[in-house]
Structure 1
Amino acid sequence: MENKEPTQERWVFGGVRVHQNKRVHYWLSPNGEGRYFKAAGSYAVGAVYNARVTRDDDGGTYLHGRPGYTGDRSEDEELRDQLSAKTRAAELQLGLDARERAAKREDPVELAIKRLEYLTASMHPSSRTAFATYVAVRLARAWK
């Protein structure tokens, strides 16, 4: 990309999305192209913002800084409704994903193993093999 000066455009904030398993912001450019950018800042879905952007010859669009609120909103009510609905769906998915990660962290077997790891790490290296053997024997006895 050659060194171009950013231009100011009026973009519509499209809300939150899940892209490549990450929370991103979705923006609509003046020509209706949707773009994903790293989530930063707090914006109103369907509102219009002044965005400083550059475009390269390969179709890449780069957002410079944080877009500034114009006080306007998209005049397309149906578009605003769709963007809002998609944002709610993405927020629910992100919340569900976070709860699943928390549930995995709270798995009883994983918690027990983490506790054993902690205990093992605090031992003198010469005692670790004996401790691991002790744990294995205790587990084997439980199979009877």
Structure 2
Amino acid sequence: MQKSILVLNAGSSSLKFSVFDCLNEGQLNQKVTGQVEGIGTAPHLKVKDGNGQSIIDVHWQTTEVANHAQALQKITAVLHRDSSCLMGVGHRVVHGGPDYSAPLLITPEVLDKLETITPLAPLHNPHNLAAIRAMRQECPNLPQ
């Protein structure tokens, strides 16, 4: 089974994602890309393969995907069906304050600190952090 990395970009009403297969010598190959848009209003999942061909296009009732956690559950269900073996998750966090300006492993301490600086990006960071928390709940042992 191919080892993969999931990358998430959470917005106010969408959750964009890409999955990259880890190849030899640290090279990555984009396997799929997609998004759940209309979270809480008119949820819609679109997924394309690495060549840009549409492979999934699904609409749900509002109550089926009312928040980012439910959107993430839909995404991980697709990934499990596709036999992706995730080895880690990367997140786009808009503002890391003065302490976090480069990639780092999300620990409970880092998450707590990011919570305190939410006022620096109030339109973005709450959604970014919601995706981190949802992923922790969905796959608690997966590095993020």
The answer to whether TM tops 0.5 is no
Q: TM-score, normalised on structure 2?
A: 0.26
Q: Which has the higher helix share?
A: 1
Higher relative contact order (CA 8 A, sep 6+): 2
Q: TM-score, normalised on structure 1?
A: 0.26
